[in-house]
Structure 1
Amino acid sequence: MIVTGDSKAFPPAKDDTVNPNPVLVNIDDAGPSTSTSITTAASNEVEALAEPSDPPPAFSTYEPEYDTQSNGDIVSHDPHLNQDGEALYRFLLAQAPRPPRLTLHCRGTHNESTTRLVPYQDNTGRTAYRTERETHTITDFSFYIDFTPYLATSEPVLWTVADGEAVHRGKMVREVDVGLGERREARRDEVSAQKRLEKHRSMHGVPPWVDPALSDTNNFPFATSDAERTMILRSSKSLRAWADDYCASDKNLREFNFQKVPQRSRYRANSLTSIPLIQSVYGWDLHRIRPILKPNIRTPYPSTITTTFSLSHSSISVRPSTALSRTLSRTWVKVLLWITLIYPFIWIYRRFHPRGGGVWEGVGGALPGYTPSASTSLTAASPSLSLSPSPSPFPSTSYAQSQLEFSRTQEGRWLRAWESTIARAVQVCTQAGENEPIGPPLLDPGSGPLVVGFVPTGLLF
């Protein structure tokens, strides 16, 4: 121990209590120089905290994983889309503006019969000849017309089905909402009526939010502003609520369909649990194309003429990330399961087990093909209001002092523009594949786009 007699080397402290924060001191007890140094140290520390040397990490949006099939359809097994309703909702909104590809396949065939002599040995061992007749199908022409340039590419309008429509709302059977969150299984006559309505809408280009009583008219109410678009949400639940309901379900083989057109049964067979978005065309009467097109396709000999519409790049399917779901996404696996009679047991489990399968298909989106009238102001559009016919070649809609004018291409005008090109393709016996459509037309069919609608299977958008 070292003892010194100089008491100034160790001045007595005024307070033996240890200050836990060296910056927070009693300034009154310190001298002027001490106060200045403490203030400077505190300022330097605050500046160091306020101005970090490293910049914050860059913001990046979540990109779900998905695969693009050979036909252009999108299939995703991303687990986050099956757990977060917001992520699922945003993913569908991001994929919705992608237009589908609509093609018309025109094909003409005729049968030719030929005879030939076939040698054979009779009972005596001698060589004899008999006549055999063979019939061959000859393809006279086969070509495609691409309708994609006429499809509207504006921001899609989101819609939901009415509570009274018989659709899949989380079970394997169709249901209707009766209010207060209660649902009941749809009766057989309601299911039949809904299927007829879906077929009518698909063939005649009727938007899915149009009231069934108005589906036979060419005047469809559309909306432009945010307030008007909410009138198209005919369900008591929002689109986001539909997505949350799907993600909250504990069903193992559930399927959420966000559809841009009413769901058809042939799309639901693709997966056990999925959210496909099927795109289709609104505002274009496909049922009228065939009768007005066939008279313009003539051949100098009897021929069988077929016209078929094909829709591709139109489905967005979101399926669970389970091994079973990924396996069933492969077509050859499903075929093998059917051959081995295993798939019927999977179907029974999905159909009847409480945690088996479920389908949601009450929401969707559509791309409108219209231009607002400059002379009128737009108000809320209701699909249940009466519409008056218009003599204009572009069907218009009048309701609540609001005027909307379609800019869609009419079938007759389209045919007049294409009839020379089609006649030439038939005359020279054109043989072209789907990736080599004929055209363009010799005449301009007009600037009016079609109205495009999109559907998922499961959650159809």
Structure 2
Amino acid sequence: MSEYQLDNKPPPVEAPPTFEDSQAASSSSTDAAHLGPPPDAAAAPKYVEHPLEYTYIPPGGEEPPPEFTPYEAEYFISGKEIVTHDPHLNEDGEALYRFLLSQSTTRPDYRVHLRGTHTEHRTRSVTRTDSNGHTRHETETYTETVTDFDFYIDLTPQIVHGPVHWSLPDAEPAYRGQMFMQVDALYDPTNAEPAGGDPEGQPMHLGRRKATKQEKSAAKDRKAMRKECGLPPWVAPAPESWFEQTGSGAPPAAARVLESSKTLRQWADEYCASDKVLKEFTYTKVVYGWNTANLTQALQAAIRSVYRHNIHVSFDLALHKIRVRADNTLARTLSNRCLKFLLCVTLVYPFLWLWRRFSARGGGRWEPPGASPPFAPGGGARWQQAPTGEAMALVGESEGEWFQRWEGAIRDAVWRRRRSGEALQPFVPQPYFYPAPHRPLALGMC
């Protein structure tokens, strides 16, 4: 377990070795042309923690749900999503609420995918025939992308059971029953007067309106910031100065919790009350707690010490979306990929799309609520505040500690050109053959 305080700065670390320094100690054989020297734990790059990781993130989300009996609905896996057309979920808000709560306790599949490629220019002989029937042989040059390594590491065990249930704030653009994004706002952006009351202090009510282009763009940027910095979806990353302080050494101020006027149960009731033919309710599991932007840089630096070509790092999430769709023949047909493809080929689907988009009883989407399981070992890890009032960071294994535990296995897998669909296991030293010029293969240990 690790615990960080705001007034403690991360210790200075040495810069990772350059590829030229590493390549100088490597063999000049053809097989090792695209790789550096064998992995050396002493020369491995160190993870640098940023001041943003020492920020106190207050708890948020909804109150924990009461004890309940989950509703066992029928569902199926479509691609990387969970889809259901259960009729009871489209009629009873309580059943839908319990179904979503039971599904939220299952951790989504989360993995980091590492891949390295390089481009080779090759030649080949081709035979061409001109319009006069004359045949000639030519040599053409083409480019081919070669994959040197391709593997992934399973991050699912790092996720804690018991997610926090949340719903987006009223001012955040989201799908709230229409086929376009909306916000629940007190004021109409085209009118300075309050939308639900008068300027003399009378009570004002929320008014749902279409989100503006600027609001959707700002919401997209905030979502990207939360994902990269490991912030939960109920935390406001604004103001922008909060992120500008990350390189100054001074810790940013505490984050602000966003609040919604509706709970998950209320959204479920609103969905069930709708009579739209192609309605859809989406419940999303958002993983938070790790700064994936910093972790990506650390992974690239570790791989760069033994590899000099193109590096691709991505964090893939699966089974994190639960889609509840209407129980009718048309909705089930559109959920079938083969039948949907046939509708596209026969040019029927474009008309269905227009009807769903513009008809009052066509389609409707609800996507404001979700659940957020955090990264931490074991259970009970939370963002906490010390009794003295000092801001504390997440208690548990940070992304830096995870990286230090896995960097040896990652560099070894890159050196061995691992290409496998199975998850990489923790590092265990194994013998390998290191070719060198003018001498037999030497047996060493990494």
Band of TM-score, shorter chain:
0.5 to 0.7
Provide the residue aligned with 2:263 in structure 1.
238
Could you tell me how far 1:118 is from its partner in structure 2?
4.8
Going from structure 1 to structure 2, the CA distance change for 1:356 and 1:423 (only over 3 Å counts) comes to same
Provide the residue aligned with 2:141 in structure 1.
133
Q: Which secondary structure state, in structure 1, belongs to the residue aligned with residue 235 of structure 2?
A: coil
Indicate if the aligned counterparts of 1:205 and 1:282 stay in contact, CA closer than 8 A.
yes
Could you tell me how far 1:313 is from its partner in structure 2?
2.1
* Counterpart residue type for residue 177 of structure 2: G
Going from structure 1 to structure 2, the CA distance change for 1:219 and 1:360 (only over 3 Å counts) comes to farther
* Counterpart residue type for residue 289 of structure 1: L
Q: 2:118 aligns with which of 85, 105, 110?
A: 110
Going from structure 1 to structure 2, the CA distance change for 1:142 and 1:250 (only over 3 Å counts) comes to same
Going from structure 1 to structure 2, the CA distance change for 1:200 and 1:334 (only over 3 Å counts) comes to farther
Indicate if the aligned counterparts of 1:280 and 1:311 stay in contact, CA closer than 8 A.
no
Determine whether 1:64 maps to 2:73. Answer: yes
Going from structure 1 to structure 2, the CA distance change for 1:127 and 1:289 (only over 3 Å counts) comes to same
Q: 2:424 aligns with which of 418, 438, 452?
A: 438
Determine whether 1:360 maps to 2:369. Answer: no
Question: Normalising by the residue count of structure 1, what TM-score does the alignment of the two structures yield?
Answer: 0.64
Going from structure 1 to structure 2, the CA distance change for 1:407 and 1:240 (only over 3 Å counts) comes to same
The equivalences for 1:14-53 within 5 A come to none
Alpha-carbon displacement from aligned partner over 1:331-381 (angstroms, at most 9, x marks no partner): 12222222332222112112211111222222222224579xx9xxxxxxx
Q: 1:188 aligns with which of 210, 213, 217?
A: 213
Determine whether 1:414 maps to 2:421. Answer: no
The equivalences for 1:316-395 within 5 A come to 316-369=322-375
C-alpha RMSD of matched pairs (Å):
3.5
* Counterpart residue type for residue 89 of structure 2: L
Could you tell me how far 1:120 is from its partner in structure 2?
6.8
Q: Which secondary structure state, in structure 2, belongs to the residue aligned with residue 307 of structure 1?
A: strand
Q: Which secondary structure state, in structure 2, belongs to the residue aligned with residue 358 of structure 1?
A: strand
Work out the CA distance in 1 between the residues paired with 2:221 and 2:125: 54
Indicate if the aligned counterparts of 1:171 and 1:359 stay in contact, CA closer than 8 A.
yes
Work out the CA distance in 2 between the residues paired with 1:81 and 1:220: 42
Q: 1:82 aligns with which of 82, 90, 95?
A: 90
Q: Which secondary structure state, in structure 2, belongs to the residue aligned with residue 281 of structure 1?
A: coil
Going from structure 1 to structure 2, the CA distance change for 1:120 and 1:240 (only over 3 Å counts) comes to closer
Indicate if the aligned counterparts of 1:255 and 1:359 stay in contact, CA closer than 8 A.
yes
Indicate if the aligned counterparts of 2:284 and 2:371 stay in contact, CA closer than 8 A.
no
Going from structure 1 to structure 2, the CA distance change for 1:417 and 1:368 (only over 3 Å counts) comes to closer
Going from structure 1 to structure 2, the CA distance change for 1:362 and 1:123 (only over 3 Å counts) comes to closer
Work out the CA distance in 2 between the residues paired with 1:279 and 1:89: 15
The equivalences for 1:283-298 within 5 A come to 283-298=289-304
Could you tell me how far 1:115 is from its partner in structure 2?
2.8
Provide the residue aligned with 2:235 in structure 1.
210
Could you tell me how far 1:243 is from its partner in structure 2?
0.8
Work out the CA distance in 1 between the residues paired with 2:100 and 2:253: 25
Could you tell me how far 1:63 is from its partner in structure 2?
2.0
Indicate if the aligned counterparts of 1:160 and 1:362 stay in contact, CA closer than 8 A.
yes
Could you tell me how far 1:404 is from its partner in structure 2?
5.8
Indicate if the aligned counterparts of 1:220 and 1:397 stay in contact, CA closer than 8 A.
no
Could you tell me how far 1:85 is from its partner in structure 2?
0.3
Going from structure 1 to structure 2, the CA distance change for 1:312 and 1:219 (only over 3 Å counts) comes to farther
Could you tell me how far 1:310 is from its partner in structure 2?
1.3
How many corresponding residue pairs? 332
Structure 2 unaligned blocks of 5 or more: 1-68, 187-203, 430-446
* Counterpart residue type for residue 410 of structure 2: I
Structure 1 unaligned blocks of 5 or more: 1-59, 223-230, 258-276, 375-393, 444-461
Going from structure 1 to structure 2, the CA distance change for 1:400 and 1:195 (only over 3 Å counts) comes to farther
Q: 322-331 vs 213-222, which deviates more?
A: 213-222
Work out the CA distance in 1 between the residues paired with 2:253 and 2:334: 40
Work out the CA distance in 2 between the residues paired with 1:220 and 1:76: 42
Q: 291-300 vs 209-218, which deviates more?
A: 209-218
Provide the residue aligned with 2:25 in structure 1.
none
Percent identity reads 43
Q: Which secondary structure state, in structure 2, belongs to the residue aligned with residue 63 of structure 1?
A: coil
Greater RCO, 1 or 2 (C-alpha within 8 Å, sep 6+): 2
